[in-house]
Amino acid sequence: MQPYPAYKESGVEWIEKIPSHWTTTQVKRALEFLDHMRIPLSAEVRGTMTNKTYDYYGASGIIDKVDDYLFDESLILLGEDGANLINRSSPLAFLAHGKFWVNNHAHILRPRSGSLGYFVNLLESIDYVPYVSGSAQPKLTREALGAVRVVVPPREEQHSIAAFLDEKTEAIDALIAKRRQIALLQEQRAALINQAVTRVGSESAR
């Protein structure tokens, strides 16, 4: 990606300068909230369903399958509550595609204009700790999220940035998956060694 000819102060705390032709605005002005359409389903209700076909999303991703859907498009989901707002052990902002259902623990966002890929990466990059309320149960309210300032390039550049990030993060994700696989194999190897040593040790003691 080439550098831009001129830059300006962004006015956003977590970014110093941006290209002079980019703009900044609040999340609520760049994206539409669809939180009013989400409906929670209890585990008991989900347990009675016999045709579990559609993904059921919560704050950190898919948590179950259900027999109906609320949405039939690609949208951005962002966790509303839970420890992940603070420790970020899993993605906080992610895409949901096709037909799916969302409970009341994830904000649902649709860009008013521009690239889904750009905005999901942008929202995932933000530190939300200053905007989170509650200590026992951290929560990012719609009002707090809506007030967060974000950087908005022209639509064409949003698509270019999203494509660039897809290419780069694909390699990173593959490396992470490989490392997890290695870690799992190492755990299995250690368990096997421990089992063998314990067994041989107990047999030799007879």
- Are 111 and 73 contacting, i.e. CB atoms less than 8 angstroms apart? no
Residue 117 burial by CB count (10 A; 0-12/13-18/19+): exposed, middle or buried? buried
pLDDT at 179 over 70: yes
pLDDT category of residue 67 using cuts at 50, 70 and 90: very high
What is the mean pLDDT of the segment spanning 107-120? 96
74: left (phi over 0), alpha (psi -120 to 50) or beta: beta
Rounded CA-CA distance 141/132 in Å is: 8
Rounded CA-CA distance 73/102 in Å is: 13
Residue 124 burial by CB count (10 A; 0-12/13-18/19+): exposed, middle or buried? middle
Model's pTM, two decimal places? 0.82
- Are 79 and 60 contacting, i.e. CB atoms less than 8 angstroms apart? yes
pLDDT at 1 over 60: no
Q: What is the pLDDT of residue 205?
A: 55
- Helix or strand holding residue 194 (H, E): helix 155-204
Domain 7-153 class, CATH top level: alpha beta
* Residue 4 three-state SS: coil
**pLDDT tens column, 135-154:** 788 999 999 999 999 999 99
What is the mean pLDDT of the segment spanning 68-76? 98
Could you tell me which residue, 203 or 138, shows the higher pLDDT? 138
Rounded CA-CA distance 11/31 in Å is: 19
- Are 35 and 176 contacting, i.e. CB atoms less than 8 angstroms apart? no
What is the mean pLDDT of the segment spanning 176-204? 70
Q: 106-111 and 31-33 as β-strands: parallel, antiparallel, unpaired?
A: antiparallel
Q: What is the pLDDT of residue 171?
A: 74
Q: Where are the domains of the chain?
A: 7-153, 154-206
Task: Give strand pairing partners of 33.
Answer: 109
| Average pLDDT value for the chain | 89
pLDDT at 203 over 60: no
pLDDT at 4 over 90: no
What is the mean pLDDT of the segment spanning 15-29? 93
